Amino acid sequence: MIDWSKKVAEKATELEQCEKKLLLNTVEKKSMGLNALTPWLAPIVWDGTYDMSILDKQHSGTRIGLFVFAVKKYIRFLQPFLETAERYFMVGHKVTYYVFTDKVDGVVKPKMADGRILQLHNVVADQRWQDVSMRRMEILTVFTKKHMPNEIDYLVCADVDMVFKDRVGVEILGDLVATIHPAFLISELKHFTYERRPISAAYIPDGEGDFYYMAAFYGGKVDEIYKLSVACQNGIIEDKKKNIEAVWQEESHLNRYLVYYKPTKVLSSEYIWNTNAPYGDLVKKKRFIILNKNNQEIRN
Ligand code: 48C
């Protein structure tokens, strides 16, 4: 006696597996984000593509900065950001946190391991959240020129409404490093949300571009970040003079810069993960997570 319900169930599973394979094939073909190398032969960093012990040895003595803004209501994200950074960010290496806030006195300093320093800097709290976000580029042009070169070798710039959930180590270090936006990991070029108005300094013409990078996590040698921040800040000022603002603020200017000055290392979406992003099964390690927040509340 054939158990037909079992047979049907088996077929259904088989069909599902087949569809998944088909999906993966179609996805694989189109999207460069899943490769391990960019067309200009820069590494795309995925778990399992490097030997951590070799890299840690190469970087013994390297000094790393982590730059973050925590202004107005975003101050609430700073403690979990720092506490999880102490657990996962460059553990065993020399780290200096550059925290810019309008509430220096309100900062709760986490317990910090040896070789790790917390620098607190006061910063003006712009009225609009877009201006707060863009202000980061201006501050970077100042601090990467004078303050940081004597203190660190590499600088990593991050959003603060994030937490580290897995190792983020020296594998991310390089001359100029950017991270693929989780929502665009396998999107096609024509769907990237670049600035498309030729009048804007952040304009990227159709057909140009490689990945859509998110401004929540990028970095590089200090002088590379100096050059990047000057270019972005100039673009922001140029647009302001025309009374326009790029569609995704400094992220638009960052993407424009990186089309012409290509990153020497690209980080997969392991390094910026959004739990609502599709295809989570393709990203085995979610290392640095965007916190869900009520934008309406947090930005006003
Ligand atoms: O610190 C603030 N305060 C604000 O009122 C607005 C933005 N910011 C900083 O800019 C935070 O570091 C934010 O992470 C960053 C802008 N990024 C975001 O709001 C979402 N991660 C997109």
Q: If DSSP states are collapsed to H, E and C, what string results for the chain? A: CCCHHHHHHHHHHHHHHHHHHHHHHHHHHHCHHHCCECCCCCEEECCCCCCHHHHHHHCCCCEEEEEEECCHHHHHHHHHHHHHHHHHECCCCEEEEEEEECCHHHCCCCCCCCCEEEEEEECCCCCCHHHHHHHHHHHHHHHCCCCCCCCCCEEEEECCCEEECCCECHHHCCCEEEEECHHHCCCCHHHCCCECCCCCCCECCCCCCCCCEEEEEEEEEHHHHHHHHHHHHHHHHHHHHCCCCCCCHHHHHHHHHHHHCCCCEEECHHHCECCCCCCHHHCCCCCEEECCCCHHHHCC
Which of 224, 250, 251, 270 does the annotation list as catalytic?
A: 251
pLDDT band at 27 (very low <50, low <70, confident <90, very high): low
Ligand 1 centroid, distance to 35 Cα (angstroms)? 30
Mean pLDDT of 280-291: 97
Distances 189 to 30, 186, 290 between C-alpha atoms, Å? 10, 9, 23
The predicted pLDDT at position 15 comes to: 86
What is the C-alpha separation between 272 and 158, in angstroms, rounded?
10
Number of the ligand 1 atom closest to the C-alpha atom of 136 = 10
The overall average pLDDT reported for the chain is: 95
> Which of the following CATH numbers is that of domain 48-290: 1.10.3720.10, 3.30.70.141, 3.40.50.300, 3.90.550.10?
3.90.550.10
Identify the residues whose C-beta falls under 6 Å from ligand 1: 68-72, 74, 129, 132-133, 159-161, 216
Number of the ligand 1 atom closest to the C-alpha atom of 70 = 1
User: Which residue's C-alpha comes closest to atom 10 of ligand 1?
Assistant: 133
- Note the pLDDT tens digit of each residue in 235-252: 999 999 999 999 999 999
Ligand 1 pocket: which of 71, 156, 276, 295 to mutate (most atoms within 8 A of CB): 71
Q: Is the pLDDT of residue 30 over 70?
A: no
What is the C-alpha separation between 148 and 94, in angstroms, rounded?
14
User: Which residue's C-alpha comes closest to atom 13 of ligand 1?
Assistant: 159
Report the DSSP pairing between strands 288-290 and 176-180. Answer: unpaired
Which range, of 13-22, 154-163, 166-175, averages the lowest pLDDT?
Answer: 13-22
Ligand 1 pocket: which of 68, 120, 159 to mutate (most atoms within 8 A of CB): 159
The predicted pLDDT at position 270 comes to: 98
The predicted pLDDT at position 17 comes to: 83
Mean pLDDT of 60-81: 98
Number of the ligand 1 atom closest to the C-alpha atom of 159 = 14
The predicted pLDDT at position 31 comes to: 81
Mark whether 251 is an active-site residue: yes
Q: Is the pLDDT of residue 297 over 90?
A: yes
What is the C-alpha separation between 225 and 242, in angstroms, rounded?
26
Ligand 1 centroid, distance to 182 Cα (angstroms)? 17
Residue 115: left (phi > 0), alpha (psi -120 to 50), or beta?
Answer: left
The predicted pLDDT at position 24 comes to: 63
Q: Is the pLDDT of residue 276 over 60?
A: yes
